[in-house]
Amino acid sequence: MTQYESIWSDLQGVPFRQDYIVADGIRTRFLQAGDPNAPTLIFLHGTGGHAEAYIRNLAAHAKHFNTYAVDMLGHGYTGKPDYDYEVPLYVKHLNGFLDAIGVQKASFSGESLGGWIASQFAAAHPDRVERLVLNTAGGDKIIPEALAKVRELTMAAVNDPNSERLRARLEWLMYDKSMVHDDLVASRRHIYEQKDMPRAMAHILSMHTPEARLKYALKPEQWAKVTHPTLVLWTSHDPTATVEIGRNLAGMLPNSQFVVMQDCGHWPQFEDPETFNRIHIDFLLGKDVPEAEKA
């Protein structure tokens, strides 16, 4: 018999809270764990995602950091205003979130879209960033086929959130498709069944076109000004870009390390949390990351 997996099993026994706060005028949902007096870490999920992308990372990081996993603008259970969620609006909302929780400076770890927003935030508000992790980050890579696949799978799942479509969308994230368990599918179903989600998803996906990528990609001279210690974390089987693209991104950053996690897709923090947590925490604590290359 296959052992039953659930989101709750990842959080069982973990002191954490789910709550809402008004950030930049928008009701914003988050998960939080760890000592509020410890250095702050903000996890940012990818396109169409939500805070549960980091349920396997909260416990480990809460031992060292005041850890937040945030539903970004228009995502999850955060408010969904009726306009396209362009990059500057995500940055503005994130800045408002820091203000709302009373934190001046934090480290940011973003996956895919979250990495795009984290890097843009670092460029716009360098004084509010301690360290930066770009996890299979989006933003400056323009691969029309990958962008089209994300749009296709995501809108199919939102317009008809049945188990088959939701599972296909989540399996796209994983190298090991068996990692997508029924409870993860159910969690996303509840989010995608919200009546305003199809409209919000159209606003979210407005950033997933080659034109939007060109408009809001950081230029090499902008990357050069992101001087914070940065870990560019890539995977051997990322469906959005090759390892070489990740390595090139790291090369544009003046204070970066580059690491590749093996046998993972677009959610390494979920597929191999033990390895991710070890590498990630060591970097955030300023320790050497033996697996990393100096970029």
Domains parsed from the chain with CATH numbers: 7-294 (3.40.50.1820)
Tell me the mean pLDDT in the region 88-94. Answer: 98
Section 15-24 average pLDDT? 97
* Pair 58, 70: CB distance under 8 Å: no
Which pLDDT value is given to residue 141? 67
What angle do the packed helices 163-171 and 182-192 form, to 10 degrees?
110
- The count of residues in the chain is 295
Per-residue model confidence as pLDDT tens digits over 128-172: 999 999 999 987 766 778 788 888 989 999 999 999 999 999 999
Phi/psi zone of residue 48: left (φ > 0), alpha (ψ -120 to 50 degrees), beta?
left
pLDDT of residue 2: 53
Convert the pLDDT of each residue in 226-242 to its tens digit.
999 999 999 999 998 99
Q: What is the DSSP string of 140-164?
A: S---HHHHHHHHHHHHHHHHS--HH
pLDDT surpasses 80 at 22: yes
> What torsion, rounded to 10 degrees, do the Cα atoms 41, 19, 191, 234 define?
10
CA 159 to chain centre: 23
Nearest 5°: the CA angle 49, 140, 240 is 50
Residue type at 64 in one-letter notation: H
| pLDDT classification of 289: cutoffs 50, 70, 90 | confident
Task: Say what the pLDDT of residue 1 is.
Answer: 39
In one letter, which amino acid is 271?
E
Dist. CA 91–CA 61, nearest whole Å: 24
More confident residue, 9 or 34: 34
Across 218-230, average pLDDT: 92
Q: In terms of C-beta distances under 8 Å and separation of at least 24 residues, what long-range contacts does 247-250 make, across chains too?
A: 247/293, 247/295, 249/134, 249/137, 249/140, 249/141, 249/223, 250/293, 250/295
List, for residues 46-87, the tens digit of each pLDDT value: 999 999 999 999 999 999 999 999 999 999 999 999 999 999
Check if the beta carbon of residue 228 is closer than 8 Å to that of residue 129.
Answer: yes
CA 232 from centroid of its chain's CA atoms: 13
Q: Among 260, 219, 205, 217, which Cα is nearest to 46's?
A: 205
Contact 158, 201 (CB under 8 A): yes
CA 45, 31, 2: angle at the middle one, nearest 5?
Answer: 75
Summarised one tens digit per residue, pLDDT across range 162-206 is: 999 999 999 999 999 999 999 999 999 999 999 999 999 999 999
The two beta strands, 129-135 and 106-111, are parallel
